[in-house]
């Protein structure tokens, strides 16, 4: 993990030289081919726990050089999986070409969305914390929410990106209802076993990709795509933080389950 990595320069194909797990056979993201998914009636709607309860404590918004991250309070969690999961953080992946030019990590029937929101949780019934959980097969649960053009509550994050333009910058932002960023239909989703989509690519994620897409306006998308830098403030060679999504990975032996038919 100490080793640095990038989406550009030293590109995605070189991640596995330093992070061998990136060469594993259960990597993420994937292309979900809907005709090849398997209906599983045991996949019940997920229940966000405390997502809408934010009290008056601000959130912290952080440019980690690879994405914009919001650290989530530990009383937020996720129900509807075999174990209780505790929220850790959420972050975004985006492209550089505006609407209809890609930017999501997961694709459905070969089709990209404009961006993708990830809400990361760890299995707090089996493991004491995120770092213990992140190397275990049942350690993490990540929600993947595909974002397409129109409009939404994304300003709760986007209004503050201008304050974390460079890597390592952090700001407190007013807390907001995280559930407002999720689709309304939490019952229709795809489920598969995969990995972190960034080095070290541990194959520890129970992935949920919602079928319903959520919306973002063209102006909001362009702002997200052109405001942050992957370089630090004191680096004269500014590098825009763009295209921070990984290419889809082979499914290999895996089955993608659908909660609906
Ligand atoms: O890209 C994130 C990375 O920033 C880190 O959060 C990691 C573990 O939490 O997860 C990946 S991802 O698979 O959620 N994209
Ligand atoms: Zn992610």
CA distances from residue 174 to 64, 75, 89, 156, 182 in whole angstroms, order as listed: 19, 17, 16, 8, 18
Which ligand is in closest contact with the Cα of 194? Answer: 1
pLDDT of residue 10: 60
pLDDT of residue 9: 55
Which ligand is in closest contact with the Cα of 93? Answer: 2
Which ligand is in closest contact with the Cα of 116? Answer: 2
pLDDT of residue 99: 83
Ligand 1 atom nearest to CA at 89? 6
Q: Where are the strands (E) in 109-181, listed by range?
A: 115-123, 140-149, 170-173
pLDDT of residue 20: 95
pLDDT of residue 97: 87
pLDDT of residue 1: 46
What is the Å distance from ligand 2's center to 11 Cα? 17
Ligand 1 atom nearest to CA at 64? 4
Quick check: 195 and 16 in contact, CB under 8 A?
no
Is any atom of ligand 1 closer than 6 Å to the C-beta of 195? no
Q: What is the ipTM of this complex?
A: 0.93
pLDDT single digits (tens) 68-77: 999 999 999 9
Of all protein residues, the one whose alpha carbon is nearest to atom 10 of ligand 1 is 196
Would residue 66 show up in a list of annotated catalytic residues for this protein?
A: yes
Of all protein residues, the one whose alpha carbon is nearest to atom 3 of ligand 1 is 198
Interacting residues of 84 by C-beta distance below 8 A, sequence separation 6+: 77, 78, 123, 124, 125
> How far from each other are the two terminal CA atoms of the chain, in whole angstroms?
40
DSSP state of 111: B
What is the Å distance from ligand 1's center to 152 Cα? 24
Is any atom of ligand 1 closer than 6 Å to the C-beta of 244? no
pLDDT of residue 177: 86
The tens place of each residue's pLDDT in the chain, 261 residues long, gives 467 888 875 688 899 999 999 999 999 999 999 999 999 999 999 999 999 887 778 999 999 999 999 999 999 999 999 999 999 999 999 999 888 889 999 999 999 999 999 999 999 999 999 999 999 999 999 999 999 876 567 788 888 999 999 999 999 998 888 888 888 899 999 999 999 999 999 999 999 999 999 888 888 889 999 999 999 989 888 889 999 999 999 999 999 999 999
Is any atom of ligand 1 closer than 6 Å to the C-beta of 120? yes
Ligand 1 atom nearest to CA at 197? 13
Interacting residues of 181 by C-beta distance below 8 A, sequence separation 6+: 90, 117, 145, 152, 153, 154, 156, 214
Ligand 1 atom nearest to CA at 93? 15
DSSP state of 232: B
pLDDT single digits (tens) 105-161: 999 999 999 999 999 999 999 999 999 999 999 999 999 999 987 656 778 888 899
Radius of gyration of the chain (CA): 17
Q: Which residues pair with 257 in a beta bridge?
A: 38, 191
Please state the separation of Cα 67 from the chain's center in Å: 10
Burial 65-93 (b: 16+ CB within 10 A, else e): bbbbbbebbeebbbebbebbbbbbbbbbb
Is any atom of ligand 1 closer than 6 Å to the C-beta of 196? yes
């Amino acid at each position: 993990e100490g080793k640095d990595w990038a989406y550009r320069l030293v590109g995605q194909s070189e991640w596995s030289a330093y992070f061998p797990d990136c060469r594993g056979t259960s990597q993420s993201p994937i292309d979900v081919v809907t005709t090849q998914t398997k209906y599983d009636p045991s996949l019940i709607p997920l229940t966000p726990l405390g997502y809408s309860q934010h009290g008056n404590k601000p959130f912290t918004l952080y440019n980690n050089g690879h994405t914009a991250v919001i650290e989530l309070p530990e009383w937020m969690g996720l129900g509807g999986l075999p174990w209780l999961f505790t929220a850790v953080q959420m972050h975004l992946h985006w492209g550089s070409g505006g609407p209809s030019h890609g930017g999501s990590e997961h694709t459905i029937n070969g089709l990209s969305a404009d961006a993708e929101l990830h809400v990361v949780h760890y299995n707090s019934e089996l493991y004491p914390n995120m770092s213990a959980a992140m190397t275990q097969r049942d350690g993490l649960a990540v929600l993947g929410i595909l974002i397409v053009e129109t409009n939404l509550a994304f300003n709760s994050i986007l209004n503050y990106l201008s304050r974390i333009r460079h890597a390592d910058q952090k700001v407190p932002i007013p807390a907001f209802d995280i559930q407002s960023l999720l689709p309304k239909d939490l019952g229709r989703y795809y489920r598969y076993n995969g990995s972190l989509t960034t080095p070290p690519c541990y194959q520890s994620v129970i992935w949920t990709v919602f079928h319903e897409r959520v919306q973002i306006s063209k102006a909001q998308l362009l702002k997200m795509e052109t405001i942050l830098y992957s370089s630090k403030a004191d680096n004269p060679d500014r590098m825009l933080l763009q295209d921070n999504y990984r290419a889809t990975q082979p499914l290999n032996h895996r089955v993608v389950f659908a909660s609906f038919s």
